[in-house]
Amino acid sequence: MNFTNLFMFQCVHAYRVAELNGNVIILATSYSGEPYFFPPVGDNEVPATLRAMTEYMAGLGIGSSINIAPKGFIDRYIAPDPSYAFEPDPDSSDYLYDAEELRGLTGRKFHDKKNLLNRFIKSHDHEYRTLTPELVPEAMDLVERWCKEKCSDDVPSTYRETDATMLCLANLGRLSVKGGVVLIEGRVQALSLGEELNRETVVVHVEKANHEFPGLYQFMSNSFLVREFPSYRFVNREQDLGEPNLRKSKLSYNPIRMIEKYRVWLKV
């Protein structure tokens, strides 16, 4: 429900926004092309609002009516009502990390990450810089190079994430997002985009790096938090979409817990 995230992925999910019973409701399109609702924003006549949303979807013959619903929403509105069914959606659950651990990379569980980071520092002349408008074209060039190497029809989300990242970069000055880049021999080879999610938590929207430089991902991830977000307690690195390589990468940073998400529908 973060505005930057909604803005970035408008080109992917074709969001439509309306007001119902004094609440904001958002209709989206999944990667597979099916519509779904976000949980309603607001606390005015929520049961009636939910009933209208789920009945609308049931009328369309859609299996899942509301997606990415957090556990607190389930506990308050869905679980007590026997007319609803719900199930976990692990592919959409967010990874939450201890920010101090990611800034320090200390201890045995981060041994491999710290070794890669140190190897990169020793092997390459590099410069970390806060992303400014002057660096945006070079950051876009990196995203294009990354997509040529990594984007695949087998993993269509790679193309969609690329489009979303480009839209975010093109509107950097209008969003609350912060960015960081790493230059090697004067050329941008890594990029991170993130922002405050709440007073204790940073959300990282984008992290891309040139795989030709081992340890660059680790250096980018660490430096971005150290330089741009030195005092936050937690880092939300979003979901893995069920992609095995992305899941493996996110798990390798030792999340402290998952922010569980659920799918909801009206029982027939």
pLDDT in tens, 85-108: 999 999 999 999 999 999 999 999
Global pTM?
0.93
What band does 177 get if pLDDT is binned at 50, 70 and 90?
Answer: very high
Rg value, the chain, Cα? 20
Give 148's contacts (C-beta < 8 A, 6+ positions apart). none
Joined tokens for residue 231: 């005092």
Residue 36 CA to residue 158 CA, distance in Å, equals 21
Beta bridge partners of 191: 181, 208
Which of 259, 268, 266 minimizes the C-alpha distance to 89?
Answer: 259
Separation between Cα atoms, residue 191 and residue 171, nearest integer Å: 16
**Domains of the chain (ranges, CATH numbers):** 3-91+262-266 (3.40.630.30), 94-238 (3.40.630.30)
Averaged over 31-39, what is the pLDDT?
91
Q: Tokens in use for 43?
A: 């606390």
- Per residue in 63-83, pLDDT (tens digit) is 789 999 999 999 999 999 999
pLDDT digits (tens, 9 = 90+) for 220-263: 999 999 999 999 999 999 999 999 989 999 999 999 999 999 99
